[in-house]
Structure formats: structure tokens, C-alpha cells
Structure 1
Amino acid sequence: MRGSADVQGNSRPTEAGRRPSSALRAPSPRERGEGEDIAVIGGGIIGICAAAYLAEAGRNVTIFDRTGICEETSSGNAAAFAFSDVLPLAHKGMIRQLPRWLADPLGPLSIPPAYLPTLLPWLARFWRAGRSDRYEASLAAQAGLMRLAEAEWAGLMTRSGTTDMLREDGSLELYESEAEFRASLPGWAARQRFGIGFNHVEGDALAALQPGLSPRFVKGTFVPGWKTVADPKLLGKAVWAYAETKDACFEKARIDHIEAGQDGVTLTLADGSARQARHLVVAVGAWSHLLAKDLGDRIPLETERGYNTTLPKSAFDVKRMLIFSGHGFVVTPLETGLRVGGAVELGGIERPPNYNRSKALLRKAQNFLPGLDPSGGREWMGFRPSLPDSLPVIGRASQGGNIVYAFGHGHLGLTQAAATARLIRELVLGQNPALDLSSFSPNRF
């Protein structure tokens, strides 16, 4: 597969630390020689949660991933449960700032010149997605998915025993001028319509929320309901460990081709072997559109290459996630370090990383947090699967109702994973989805 994510083999631990005896349970379809019941391609957080929800429903599930469980893009995100982040990217000031950002090769948004011809159709769709006549529908769809996501993550964390990984410290978005602050106000008014709480702060109140900030920041917005997790990789692996207790399996393999048939799906592996499955979930992030093309579905997915550096925890005493929206990056305190990351490089999945971008973010962080120690950091780059309207694809493939898509969440994969998993479970089981899925349809393009 071309995707995200590790695991230690196909073992499924029981309380005694070994697989349950076949004499004590019904044999799975695979053990009966019938292939998989449900195959999930992608071991990132979307695939992990989908597998957990389907395994909870008593279905036999196997995840296929080229690397492992939560080892690629889902391992290095900013660790946010960004339930208040309902504004589509095209409406968050990005279009207005595009010329300035693109003028700086190490700025918040970069497009390698050689990649621009490939990107132009996606950029045109992105521009159209920013039109006012599409705003309300996108905003309402995103807000509905976020409400479901918050409720579903609360339930999944309780069931999987991971609530101790939740951090409820809120977030602080920072502005360097009155003009920058005023430009943010329409977005906050839109959030307020959906019941999202926030407080604008300045002076002593701003300093109390984050001591040691540079005086260049004149105002901020505190969102008390914003949540983060201790570490996204650790959370993903913990949810997978829970799925294993429900008999979910993992197979390390790259899937090169999928084909729908009358009775199921054929998965062709990189080594030329094949697997059969009754149902298939495609959740392989930035590579998903390549597999969708096998089924005749052309989905305009692009890759936002995100960069970060994770510093030792002692680098600076950051109290909560800090959002530097004017510069396109965040700083998140994790259990495992201090993560400085963000920015967008629209450059596809083939180009080598440009770690000068992560170094540029770190230099900015030093200016914004005087006294930050930049030493001892680990650089990282991941592939965010992005669709022009900032909404994921959640729905059935055009060929075969037993194939469902779950990809294209952009910056919000961790945030929306549990909600997506519930919707995928309902589609696979033939139940009525908790949300109207028309806004997330693979055919909307």
C-alpha cells in the first residue's frame, strides 16, 4: 500500500497474551479460506479508527499498510483535536494572502515552480471553493462533522482506555497588529454561530495565558474548548491495541491495485500476490486517489506537505497550543516534546523533503518565543491529503457498493477520525449514516 502507518505482526493479544484458541470462537472468513471480511487499506489514524469501529461491531477486519500502524503522516501531526476549526481553508484568509506567501520560498505556502502546471486544476477548484455561494454549505457540513467528531472521540477514548492522553488546555491564536486581529473577526463570528466559545485577550490577560511571548503580539484569541493529545503516534497505537483486543489484524503490505467484483474486491499486492475481501475501506491518505482511479473515480486530491521539528520538552514552557495564523504554523506541547510545525508545500508525493522549511519555522518560533532553545530537535515531513473544498471524501465508490472511501481530511485527520469511522461503519453495515453525506460524496467533483 501507499500509505501511512507499524505493528508487531498479526498477533491479537488476549488477557493471557496470546491469540484466543480457535476452539473457543467461530473461525474467521480468512481461516475458512474465504478471504477477508473487511479490508482496510491504510494504517493511519483514519484506518485505525475505522478498523476499531468495525471490529467493535463484531466484524473481522484486517488493515493493510506498507509501513505499519501510525508510522507515517498520522505520527507527526500537531496533536490537535481542532473541533472549532470549521472554516474551509479557502475562507481563512489564504486566498487573500496567497501573493505575499508565495513570494517567500520558505513562507507559509510554497509551490515548487516545476509542480505548478500539475497543480493548476486543483488551484482553480480551490479558488472556486472560496466563492461566497459555496461558503454556507461547506461551513455547515464541516461544523456538523466536527460536532460528531467531538462526541465520537469522547466515546472511543473511554472505550479504548486512552482518556489520560487528552489535554484540555485550550488554544491561543496570536496577532501582530490590530489590522490582523480585525481581519480575523468574521471568522470568529462564523464560529460563534455554531456555538464555539472564544475570548479575545490582550495585555496582562494575554501574558497570563502564555508567559514569555514576544511583545510584537498585541492581541490573541483564546479558545477554551480546543483540545490536544499527549502524542498523536502514541494515541494511534493505543487505539490500535484496543482494536486488536476486538480481533482486528494487521498485514504489512503495499496494495498496488484494487478491482471490484460481483462478490467482493480483489487486492493486488506489490509482490504480485492477491487478497480477496467482501468489503473494502480505502483510507490511505495522500495516495487514496490513485487507488480510486482503479475504480473509475477521479478525485482531485492534492498533497500538502507539512513540516515540523520536535524539540525536547525543556525547550520552552509552552502552556497550550499556540497558533501563529499569519505565519501558518503552530507550537504544541506534547508528552514527548515541543512540536513546532505547519506551513504548506503543495508539491505532490514524489519530491524529496525540503527541510529548510522546518528550519525557517524554528527561526520564527525563536523570534516569537524569546529564550526558546532550538537544539536537539527532530525534523519531519508528512503528506496531508487535501481536497479543494476542505471537506473529506466519505462515501461509496462508483463501482461496487461494498467499497467505501475515507480520505482527504487535510489538516483534520486526527480531529475527524472517530466521526469518519462511525460513518464508515454505518455504510459498511447498511445503516443510516449519522450525517447527510452528500457534502462528502466522492461524486461531488
Structure 2
Amino acid sequence: MKKTVAVIGAGIVGVSTAIALLRDGHEVVLIDREGPATGTSHGNGGVLAAAAVLPVPGPGLWAKAPKMLLDPDQPLFLRWPYLPKLLPWLRRYMGEASAEAALRRAHAIAPLIGDSLADHQALATGTPAEKWLVPGDYVYAYPDRAAFEADAFTWQTKSALGFAHEVLENGAFQRYDPAMSESFALGVRQPDHGRITDPGAYVKALAAHAQSLGARLVIGEVTDFAEENGALTGLRIGGETLPCDAAVITTGVWSGPLAKRLGVAAPLESERGYHLELYEPSMMPRAPVMFAAQKFVATPMEGRLRLAGIVEFGGLDAPPSKAPFELLRRCIAKAMPELTWKHEVEWMGHRPSVSDSLPLIGAAPGLRGAFFGFGHDHVGLTAGPKTGRLLAQLVGAQRPNIDIAPFSPDRFA
């Protein structure tokens, strides 16, 4: 049955949802406070990280975290005045820092992200966005074999879930990518991945494609829901009501207040992420490279190299910190000591992190016709198209083609 569906949030998840709904024959209103791709979908690392199944709070984090917070060369930062507000969420988050919890998350999320390249190709091929979609490898860099072997849990888990990798050492890493410093003696090549060479332009182009298919773009903020007999009938925007048969909340880290109105107290926090873009670089890595110890990725993009990563806890309101940018500069100087560039751009944004490192995808328990699709932490770009497809299936009362029980909003109802 054809429905009028409001999609709240025009990042990669929202825009993917809108296109999937339009392709299914629904009418779509795409709503955003500022417009498409103005947040995390603009500033992410650009990698389609299909094998990124393990969460940040893995085994051993309890022992590592205090030292990381006190060491300026570690990729974890905390704005200490924010700690009292963060603590309730942090207790739940760190409660997941075990091998058992990490494996549970890995098995749950692998079907959502494992086919990311094919999912993006299905979404973007034949649209103006496809020129920014590049298939290729995703590489991890280690200083030596000991560092790689210390990461054995990661690679064993990926292998067990069917993700292939090739170890490059004894000069093979530099032969594969001459841009890599010899201080990184071992690389791990993961095939069948991909990258987006301008994430902001990519999502904007997809949003324009959605409009060409008939979607209506509304700039405004949804503050409440209109309902009748327990079913959604519209959205409150700026003192007016926009009628709709269904609504999907895809507003990332800002989804909490709307979710709460629908009966879900999502334990959601911002993992503040940083990127530094180096324009007109003198060299480029062959493929996106994750420097494993420093937890940052260097991604070749259109006309620039984007360095992205870092985790900082400090909420939504504080301005960017200087230390993460300085760390990225020190890290790239070590990784690619001969690299030069013309100018650089700094950016900070907000990853939507749920305490159990799994997104909320499914029907809202408090109102028929309302659905959630948020909380993807570090894999929002990777998971966007499949999440959109799943949400369109739910809106159309179709059975999703993967098990979405681990993502059920009911776990926080």
C-alpha cells in the first residue's frame, strides 16, 4: 500500500531510506534542520568498512583506557568537565568491554555491513552520486609482527565471519604501497571494500536524486508527533503539522529526545570524531590505511587526503579541541614523513554511539507508524544503504531479509 512517509534526518541513513521508499512506490518527505549531509555524513572517514565488526569497547579496554586518557599520543580524549554527565552512559558502555560482548556485537552487525560495497553500488549506480564510489582495498598498518599478533582477536574474528585478509611484510607492504614509511613493516590488505571520495558531495547527490524521484525536502526541526488512536498521523514542525502515514527517525546522535517521546530511552552519546584534510598532497596512499595503534585512517579523496579518527567524549555543545588535530599531524608525519601539502581544513563531528555498540533499527514501541534508524557509531556510512533498505521494508510491512532482532528498539523501551 502506498504511504506518505516522513524521513527525519538527511544524512546517509536518511537519504538511503528515502531512496528505498521512493523505489518501493511511496511518497517521501525528507526533513532536516540544515539540509542534506551537514553533519557526520559530511565528515566521516569515507571508508566502506565492511569488516569493521568489532566495537571500540573490546577486551582489554579496562586496562588500557586510563593510560590512553593521560597520554597525548593516544587516540582517546575526554573533556573532564563533561565526565559527571557522561558517567551513567560510560558505565554501560564499559560494561560491554569483554570478548563475549564484542563477539556478540560482531555476529549481530556483520550481516548489516558485510556487503557494504554492493549495497552502495545498488544505491548509487545510475545516479549522479556514483562517481564518488570507488571499489578497492582497505589496509591496516602495523609497526611490526608483534603489534599485528597483539591484534589477533580482531583478525581471528574477521576471518571466522568470512572476511578475507592478506598479510604483507618483509618489504611487501612498501611494494604494495610505496607511500608507506618503513616504520610500518607490516600491512594487512582487506579486499572487497571501497571508499567514497567526497562523502558530503556523495550524500548531497543522493539527496538530489531522491528529489528527482519525487521526494520533497523540508528544512525544519521536528519537535513532536501527532497521533490518533495510537497511530501516527503527522509531525509537528515549527508550530505546524505535516501529515504523514509513517515516519522514520534517522537523526543520528540527536535522535534521543524524539525516541524518548516514543517510549525509548536510548543510551546514546556523542563520540566526537575529528578529521584533518590535506589539500594537494605530494603523495597519496594506494588505498585507505588504518594505522592500528593510533586508530586513525588516511583516505585518498578528491584533491585531498583525509585523516579521520580519534574518539573524544565531551558532549554536543563544546567547541572542537586542539589536541586531536595536533595528534593527527604528528601521526601522519610519522606514517608518511615525505608528505607535503598546500593547505588544510579541520573538522569535528558527532558519531551516534549506543552503549551496546548496536544501532536501533525497527518500529517504535510507543506509536504505530513510527520507526527508528540511528546509532551506528563508526559504521554509519558503511551501513547506511542496507539500513535504508531495511527501514523501507518495515514501513511497507515486508519481512526484512536479515535478522534485525539485535537492533530492536524494544531493548531500551
Is the 1:38–1:280 Cα contact (8 Å) retained in structure 2?
yes
1:50 aligns with 2:17: yes
Q: Secondary structure at the match of 2:136?
A: coil
Q: Which of the residues 191, 197, 201 maps onto 1:230?
A: 197
Q: Which of the residues 208, 215, 222 maps onto 1:248?
A: 215
Equivalent position of 1:309 in the other structure: 276
* Alpha-carbon distance between aligned partners in 2 of 1:55 and 1:348, rounded to the nearest angstrom: 35
How far the C-alpha of 1:96 sits from its partner, in A, is 4.5
1:156 aligns with 2:156: no
Q: Secondary structure at the match of 2:343?
A: coil
> 85-94 or 138-147: which moved more?
85-94
Letter aligned with residue 85 of structure 2: T
Equivalent position of 1:21 in the other structure: none
> 75-84 or 371-380: which moved more?
371-380
* TM-score, normalisation: structure 1: 0.87
How far the C-alpha of 1:169 sits from its partner, in A, is 2.9
Is the 1:53–1:422 Cα contact (8 Å) retained in structure 2?
yes
Is the 2:141–2:184 Cα contact (8 Å) retained in structure 1?
yes
Where structure 2 has 5 or more consecutive residues not aligned to the other structure, the ranges are: none
Residue-by-residue CA offset, 1:388-427 (whole Å, 9 max, x unaligned): 2221110111111200000000111110011101110111
* Alpha-carbon distance between aligned partners in 2 of 1:309 and 1:149, rounded to the nearest angstrom: 25
Where structure 1 has 5 or more consecutive residues not aligned to the other structure, the ranges are: 1-28, 30-35
Equivalent position of 2:236 in the other structure: 268
In structure 2, the CA distance between the partners of 1:50 and 1:336, relative to structure 1 (3 Å rule), is: farther
In structure 2, the CA distance between the partners of 1:358 and 1:265, relative to structure 1 (3 Å rule), is: farther
> 234-243 or 91-100: which moved more?
91-100
Equivalent position of 1:186 in the other structure: 153
Equivalent position of 1:214 in the other structure: 181
How far the C-alpha of 1:180 sits from its partner, in A, is 1.8
* Alpha-carbon distance between aligned partners in 1 of 2:198 and 2:59, rounded to the nearest angstrom: 27
* Alpha-carbon distance between aligned partners in 1 of 2:300 and 2:140, rounded to the nearest angstrom: 15
Is the 1:173–1:325 Cα contact (8 Å) retained in structure 2?
yes
In structure 2, the CA distance between the partners of 1:370 and 1:128, relative to structure 1 (3 Å rule), is: same
Q: Which of the residues 390, 397, 404 maps onto 1:437?
A: 404
Equivalent position of 1:384 in the other structure: 351
Is the 1:81–1:414 Cα contact (8 Å) retained in structure 2?
yes
Q: Secondary structure at the match of 2:289?
A: strand
In structure 2, the CA distance between the partners of 1:223 and 1:133, relative to structure 1 (3 Å rule), is: closer
1:141 aligns with 2:137: no
Q: Secondary structure at the match of 2:383?
A: helix
1:81-100 aligned within 5 A? 81-91=48-58, 94-100=61-67
Is the 2:280–2:341 Cα contact (8 Å) retained in structure 1?
no
How far the C-alpha of 1:366 sits from its partner, in A, is 1.3
* Alpha-carbon distance between aligned partners in 2 of 1:195 and 1:366, rounded to the nearest angstrom: 34
In structure 2, the CA distance between the partners of 1:430 and 1:159, relative to structure 1 (3 Å rule), is: farther
* TM-score, normalisation: structure 2: 0.93
Q: Secondary structure at the match of 2:366?
A: coil
Is the 1:366–1:374 Cα contact (8 Å) retained in structure 2?
no
* Alpha-carbon distance between aligned partners in 2 of 1:93 and 1:338, rounded to the nearest angstrom: 32
How far the C-alpha of 1:124 sits from its partner, in A, is 1.7
Residue-by-residue CA offset, 1:338-395 (whole Å, 9 max, x unaligned): 1012101111111111143123212221122112225410111111101122211101
Q: Secondary structure at the match of 1:362?
A: helix
How far the C-alpha of 1:148 sits from its partner, in A, is 4.9
Q: Which of the residues 338, 342, 350 maps onto 2:317?
A: 350
How far the C-alpha of 1:149 sits from its partner, in A, is 3.8
Equivalent position of 1:6 in the other structure: none
Q: Secondary structure at the match of 1:153?
A: helix
Equivalent position of 1:395 in the other structure: 362
Letter aligned with residue 236 of structure 2: T
Is the 1:355–1:379 Cα contact (8 Å) retained in structure 2?
no
In structure 2, the CA distance between the partners of 1:132 and 1:323, relative to structure 1 (3 Å rule), is: closer
How far the C-alpha of 1:208 sits from its partner, in A, is 1.5
In structure 2, the CA distance between the partners of 1:93 and 1:166, relative to structure 1 (3 Å rule), is: farther
In structure 2, the CA distance between the partners of 1:212 and 1:131, relative to structure 1 (3 Å rule), is: closer
Is the 1:264–1:279 Cα contact (8 Å) retained in structure 2?
yes
Residue-by-residue CA offset, 1:120-179 (whole Å, 9 max, x unaligned): 222222222233443433221111112354443231122435443222231221112443
Equivalent position of 1:322 in the other structure: 289
Is the 2:60–2:97 Cα contact (8 Å) retained in structure 1?
no
Q: Which of the residues 148, 159, 165 maps onto 1:198?
A: 165
Report percent identity of matched pairs: 33
Q: Secondary structure at the match of 2:293?
A: helix
